[in-house]
């Protein structure tokens, strides 16, 4: 028979709550290996919906950080924007201190891209891709333990490398988009 909350002592409380959470964690149960095998179609649909929401979230965030506040294109203003962007992610628990340098570089880079292209869509796509790399790779490789065990030195270096890798991918991806965009503009001018 299961223990009720009134029958358990302090030593058993954490263990009881953990077992209760495990039993009622339906999302975790859905993403379990066996359930994924049995609900492949639903799993794919949910991932597509998640991707759409990731893009919407990236677009809204870029609207907040680029479009609303960019009154000037001075480097000083861009630096302040990048610092605020990094600290905001830290305070909202979507980043860690070790990743702040990477976030700052990424924010500065996105600001420069926005100034060059004046396109919120382009920076949103880049931002979405960055989030996609971080979230989907870490989830699919079951590496969330690195986020939960940030005091581990190996975890710190791994997170740093993962951030650098994702930023590098975004840089190459955005350079391709920018070159394509400016080539189209030049072709129109020539015509």
Q: How many angstroms separate the Cα of 67 from the Cα of each of 62, 89, 120, 121?
A: 7, 18, 7, 11
The region of weakest confidence among 87-96, 101-110, 121-130, 140-149 is 140-149
Domain assignment of residue 88, yes or no:
yes
Within-domain flag for 5: no
Residue 176 confidence (pLDDT) above 50: yes
pLDDT score at 110: 80
Which residues, at least 6 apart from 81, have a Cβ–Cβ distance to it below 8 Å? 65, 69, 70, 107, 111
pLDDT at 26: 45
Q: Is residue 68 part of a domain?
A: yes
Closest CA to 86 of 154, 173, 181, 163: 163
Give one DSSP letter per residue of 130-152, joined into a string.
Answer: HHHHHHHHHHHTT-HHHHHTTTS
What local confidence, expressed as pLDDT, does residue 86 receive?
A: 75
pLDDT at residue 77 in the model: 73
- Averaged confidence pLDDT in the chain: 62
Q: Does residue 29 lie within any of the structural domains?
A: yes
Structure confidence at residue 53 (pLDDT): 76
Q: Residue 111: its pLDDT value, please? A: 80
What is the C-alpha to C-alpha distance for residues 124 and 59, in angstroms, rounded to an integer? 5
pLDDT attached to residue 5 = 45
Alpha carbons 84 and 102: distance in angstroms, whole number: 13
* Predicted pLDDT at 185: 46
Total domains in the fold of the chain: 1
Residue 1, in any domain of the structure: no
Segment 159-176 shows an average pLDDT of 59
Read off the pLDDT of each residue in 133-155 and give the average, rounded to a whole number: 51
Name, in order, each residue with C-beta under 8 angstroms of 33's C-beta and a sequence gap of 6 or more. none
Residue 7 lies in a domain: no
Range of the domain at 105: 12-190
Q: Is 112 within a domain?
A: yes
The Cα angle at residue 177 between residues 47 and 77, in degrees rounded to 5: 95
Task: Name the residue with higher pLDDT: 132 or 152.
Answer: 132
The answer as to whether 51 is a domain residue is yes
Inform me whether the pLDDT recorded for 70 exceeds 60.
no
Helices 100-117 and 153-190: crossing angle, nearest 10°? Answer: 10
Count of residues making up the chain:
191
Say if residue 10's pLDDT is above 50.
no
What pLDDT is recorded for position 138?
A: 53
Nearest to 68 by CA among 103, 124, 107, 120: 120
Query: What is the CB-side half-sphere exposure of residue 134 using CA atoms within 13 A?
Result: 23
């Amino acid at each position: 028979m299961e223990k009720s909350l009134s029958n358990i002592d302090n030593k058993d409380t954490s263990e009881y709550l953990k077992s209760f959470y495990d039993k009622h964690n339906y999302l975790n149960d859905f993403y379990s290996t066996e359930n994924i095998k049995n609900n492949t179609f639903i799993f794919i649909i949910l991932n597509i919906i998640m991707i759409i929401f990731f893009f919407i979230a990236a677009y809204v965030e870029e609207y907040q950080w680029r479009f609303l506040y960019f009154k000037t294109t001075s480097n000083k203003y861009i630096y302040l924007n990048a610092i605020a962007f990094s600290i905001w992610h830290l305070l909202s628990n979507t980043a860690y201190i070790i990743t702040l340098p990477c976030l700052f570089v990424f924010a500065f880079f996105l600001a420069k891209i926005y100034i060059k292209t004046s396109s919120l869509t382009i920076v949103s796509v880049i931002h979405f891709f960055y989030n996609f790399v971080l979230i989907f790779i870490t989830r699919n490789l079951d590496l969330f333990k690195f986020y939960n065990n940030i005091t581990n030195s190996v975890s710190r270096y791994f997170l740093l490398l993962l951030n650098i890798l994702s930023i590098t991918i975004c840089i190459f991806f955005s350079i391709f988009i920018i070159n394509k965009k400016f080539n189209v503009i030049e072709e129109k001018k020539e015509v």
